[in-house]
A and B are shown apart, each in its own frame.
Chain A
């Protein structure tokens, strides 16, 4: 859990694969990398077995680039498509049994705080809609109610894509899927509302058709989770296989869905705003000058 773990063991440099050497010499560790620099440095994420054109992969790729301190970050995941890519990255990945990723992350986060004290070590949970809202619902909600300080990211593809297309709690009402041929009868779960009620201090919904926005949202969520409280990001990451979206139309679908039912939303508690402004210099959350307040 430091820059040392991404260095070569003495004498082994020439035996390492090219990808590993590129990662050590030109990776994002110890530097500030941004979405606008993509394509000019070696990314944390490597080749992975996810489907061509998968929007979830795009989101994971953007998320990996957006972590404020990748060398001090641990990702936690569970069964589902996402873990196929998240595990192919040069940062530690912990695989929880199905649904217990937020429980695992709770222990991990507390343990890291005990071991490293004030030095921030970020724990980021990335799990699908099934892992977060269906099978892992109890553990997710309880970790929020306990105010565990880590980030939960839901990769919401609105279906069980790995197992043939069953409906999940996050599937939209009326959606017809291979294993839900009559259409889903119930409404999509309001996880954003539940996150707010359960005490998350930062809640955002985002669609990966705006990379800079994804970057901003992830940075804020991870930074706030260091000291203020639990944070939650819900990302629409369509399943182009189960929803039969042609791969070259995935971003068109993302745009339509964002316009119609997945609008960008962001909730930040006052305490979190103050923390971002004072600790990390976020100008938009700085208190307004007295003159501006009077004029308003």
Chain B
């Protein structure tokens, strides 16, 4: 098993700073959905992690804790995530992306 980043939508959607996306060394790994937060009644969308691309470096955790000071990202063992975004289920739209969550342990 290995660690991947997991973003708390309830915290992220309140601020939408997007710093984690800008500091992730992997391309198209931390993606942004304009609608996730709005569906839950928050003002902004939120970031999420395509776990199949995450190498588990935790740089986003440091950025979220120390630069943004939001503490929205935690490292979690991949088998502890019941549902997660994976690249095959990500759809790109006009200035946003959406992901159908699926079990990261299958396939």
Interfacial residues, chain A to chain B (CB-CB below 8 A) = 18-19, 22, 25-26, 35-48, 50, 52-55, 57-58, 61-62, 64, 209, 211, 247-252
Contacts and interface: CB of A to CB of B under 8 A. Distances in A.
Contacts of A58: 23-25, 59
Interface residues of B, number: 32
Contact of B62 (A25, A41, A248): A248
Contacts of B61: 248
In this complex, the member of B24, B28, B47, B87 whose beta carbon has the largest number of chain A beta carbons within 10 angstroms is B28
A18 B88 CA distance: 7
A154 B89 CA distance: 37
Interface of B: 18, 21-28, 30-32, 34, 47, 53, 55-59, 61-63, 66-67, 87-88, 92-93, 95-97
28 contacts: A19-B87, A35-B22, A37-B95, A38-B21, A38-B22, A39-B21, A39-B30, A40-B95, A41-B95, A47-B27, A50-B25, A52-B25, A53-B25, A53-B57, A53-B59, A54-B25, A58-B23, A58-B59, A61-B27, A64-B27, A247-B58, A248-B58, A248-B59, A248-B61, A249-B62, A251-B63, A252-B62, A252-B66
Contact of B57 (A26, A43, A46, A52): A52
Nearest to A18: B88
Given A247-B59, A248-B62, A40 B28 contact: no
Contact of A43 (B27, B67, B93, B96): B27
B59 A251 contact: yes
A19 B90 CA distance: 10
Nearest 9 CB-CB pairs, A to B?
Answer: A53-B57, A52-B55, A39-B32, A26-B92, A39-B21, A248-B58, A247-B57, A45-B27, A57-B25
A57 B58 contact: no
